[in-house]
Amino acid sequence: DADVTQTPRNRITKTGKRIMLECSQTKGHDRMYWYRQDPGLGLRLIYYSFDVKDINKGEISDGYSVSRQAQAKFSLSLESAIPNQTALYFCATSAGGELFFGEGSRLTVL
């Protein structure tokens, strides 16, 4: 089983719908991240959390919110999805200065 698990792996939704992407980890890391990948733009940081009570905005947080339910769980929500949020989303944890990625969640907003 993967150390960093994302669900769902693929999701198609409609404009205006609320969407939640979930991430859980078994690595025991305190630090967790949500990134968005778009072709030609690389990975951009949406939100990050250094522990359950510490959540920080990244460079592209507008339109997104997060919840750190436990050390092992970090969810990303799109309150009202729009087509330009169509992207591949990655959850990651870090420790010792290194990132560990989940397998990604592909979201399509029609």
Nearest approach in angstroms of CB 109 to other proteins is 20
Of 33 and 64, which has the nearer Cβ to other proteins? 33
Minimum separation from the CB atom of position 62 to other proteins (A): 19
Distance between CA atoms of 66 and 95, rounded to whole angstroms? 20
Query: Of the candidates 50, 49, 3, 6, which has an alpha carbon nearest to the alpha carbon of residue 27?
Result: 3
Binding residues for other proteins, rule: CB under 8 A, are 31, 33, 35, 40-45, 48, 50, 90, 94, 96-99, 101-104
Residue closer to other proteins (CB basis): 4 or 72: 4
Give the end-to-end CA distance of the chain in Å, rounded to a whole number: 32
